[in-house]
Chains A and B, each alone.
Chain A
Amino acid sequence: MLSPLASLRAGLERRLKPEGRAWLRQALSEATDVTEPAGPAGLPRWELHFVTAGRRCGPAPHTEGGAPDPVDAARVLILHAAAPGTDALVRLYGKGSADERRAVLLALPHLDPPPRTARALSLVEDALRTNDTRLVAAALGPYAAAHLDAHQWRQGVLKCLFTGVPTAAVAGLEHRAAGDDELARMLEDYARERTAAGRTVPEDLAYVLRLARFEESRDTPHPPGPHRPGPDPSVPDPSGHPPPAAPHRRSQSRSQPRPPESPPQSPRSPQPRSQSPQPRSPES
């Protein structure tokens, strides 16, 4: 069986045009070349490839729902191959476009050696402060599931409901939400506020609340919808994660869920580049 990143690369190569495929192979082969800077800004070669990926491996033809964005996938692969280290990673994020920042967030759980936790978390926290839903969704991937503290993680889940990010984007949701009384209280308060204002309650809220209240079972799966395409094991998500494990009951309650011992399995990421003409107020 291929590793997640090998699957990601195979899936990406299948969907690229020949020139894009040639560029990807060159970019990955040069990812460890630090001999001389390249391009008009004098960047290391891997960084030049990382920055310019959007116009080198795109536009890819539209593919089936749930397929990872090819530019995200290419950038994650380049970062993994270049293994830039924490300082360079923080610089890339800080000097990156929104698309580049998203790629840094998606790559966090795959880097070897892993980035220093406090500094990597500062990037996650920066993204969670934005109202760019593509960044918020990317921030709540497996790295946040493993490392983000309980308060910020709950705020992230609530922000998803506020800004219309499907909670399927939240990695490890079943694991971390289970038995979280504080999260349940926040969700119930939010539902009450929406109802009092005569507004609809986000569809995902009931599902997360059942998790937090230990009421979820095999009879109450995650709500289906266009934002949550069914798992296709042949197409890993942009961060290369396998489909989620089935939610499981937990036998004991705790109000402060600790970070899991190992990175949990991720539900599928949303389509971060999807563009909807339906405006949505950020509400914050």
Chain B
Amino acid sequence: MPTQSRSIPRIFDPHIHMTSRTTDDYAAMYQAGVRALVEPSFWLGQPRTSPATFYDYFDSLLGWEPFRAAQYGIVHHCTLALNPKEANDPRCTPVLEELPRYLLKDGVVAVGEIGYDSMTPAEDTALAAQLELALVHELPALVHTPHRDKAAGLARTLDVLRESKLPPERVVLDHLNETTVGPAADSGCWLGFSIYPDTKMDPDRMVRILRVHGTERVLVNSAADWGRSDPLKTRHVAEAMLAAGFDEDDVDRVLWRNPVAFYGQSGRLRLDAVPAGERLFAGNSILRGGE
């Protein structure tokens, strides 16, 4: 599929772990059209053993990483939380007591990632407590759905959400797929899809879901991290959408306006550094010949 007649879409990646990525990734993302992103706090691979290491990590998401992104013309925001996996470690749970002051920070646009990993009582407690924090801080919440036993995990997540006072339009349910999109859509929450090289979703399956469910309340992310993942998957979805007959406005809605609308509920998105009406041309596309 030729690309030279089209402009490059502007892209907002609503979930990507740039701490784990290189400056080459930032440069390639800029080339691909990425102008803004949100980095959720998550598990670093190596288990943490004290709350203080979380605070250094949060500081990095509020300092060094936005600085690094800005060097490459990309606006960086973050979401902060105690992640589901480490919510099970009593050495880490004191983070919950420090989160209120971190959630005040200007660069924080949601509470997240929260949700379930192994669906334990400790995860129940952390999820409910952090949904409450989102409510009192007037923030949206980024809710991860578990990788294992996903359908049951989603059902339990929806139960907890119904018990919280956080309205569904302030919640995105992430890492959805064909089997979970239905109940997630019925809940009124935003629908997040992570596009991976091997696991989770791929661009063509994403397009099929968009055909059935439409583009409303849909967020598409690369969720790129330290594992096998690809920070350009958002662009690949844009190409797949266009190849399948979606128009440029549909692409702009899914890959820019939807994440702006969702995280904009925080009142803290600062996109004034992104040139208004910037037109990105296909001449320097890193995609060759309709990938």
Q: Mark B134-156, 1 if CB is under 8 A from A, else 0.
A: 00110000000000000000000
A58 CB–B CB distance under 8 Å: yes
Smallest CB separation, A145 vs chain B (Å): 24
Flag if B100 contacts A55 (CB, 8 Å).
Answer: no
Contact partner of B106 (CB less than 8 A), chosen from A99, A130, A279, is A99
What B residues does A40 contact at CB under 8 A? 100, 103-104, 133, 136-137
Flag if A98 contacts B101 (CB, 8 Å).
Answer: no
Q: Which residue, B30, B104, B268, has most C-beta atoms of chain A within 10 A?
A: B104
Q: With A40-B137, A275-B70 in contact, is A54–B101 under 8 Å at CB?
A: no
What A residues does B59 contact at CB under 8 A? 97
Smallest CB separation, A17 vs chain B (Å): 13
What B residues does A98 contact at CB under 8 A? 62-64, 66-67
Flag if A279 contacts B100 (CB, 8 Å).
Answer: no
Flag if A275 contacts B64 (CB, 8 Å).
Answer: no
A43 CB–B CB distance under 8 Å: yes
User: What is the interface residue range for chain B against chain A?
Assistant: 20 to 34
What B residues does A275 contact at CB under 8 A? 70-71, 73, 273
B272 CB–A CB distance under 8 Å: yes
Q: List which B7-44 residues lie within 8 A (CB) of chain A.
A: 23, 26-27, 30
Smallest CB separation, A210 vs chain B (Å): 30
A29 CB–B CB distance under 8 Å: no
Please measure, in the bound complex, the distance between the C-alpha atom of A99 and the C-alpha atom of B62, giving whole angstroms: 8
What A residues does B115 contact at CB under 8 A? none
Smallest CB separation, A267 vs chain B (Å): 23
| CB nearest neighbor in B for A276 | B71
Smallest CB separation, B168 vs chain A (Å): 21
Q: With A43-B101, A58-B270 in contact, is A101–B136 under 8 Å at CB?
A: no
Q: List which A150-194 residues lie within 8 A (CB) of chain B.
A: none
A280 CB–B CB distance under 8 Å: yes
Flag if A132 contacts B67 (CB, 8 Å).
Answer: yes
| CB nearest neighbor in B for A133 | B67
| CB nearest neighbor in B for A59 | B272
Given A59-B270, A97-B106; 10 other pairs, CB 8 A cutoff: A41-B100, A41-B101, A42-B100, A48-B104, A52-B106, A55-B268, A58-B270, A98-B64, A101-B63, A131-B64
23 contacts across the A-B interface (CB closer than 8 A)? A40-B100, A40-B133, A40-B136, A41-B101, A41-B104, A42-B100, A48-B104, A51-B106, A53-B106, A54-B106, A55-B106, A59-B270, A62-B272, A97-B59, A97-B62, A130-B64, A132-B64, A132-B67, A277-B71, A277-B73, A279-B71, A279-B72, A280-B71
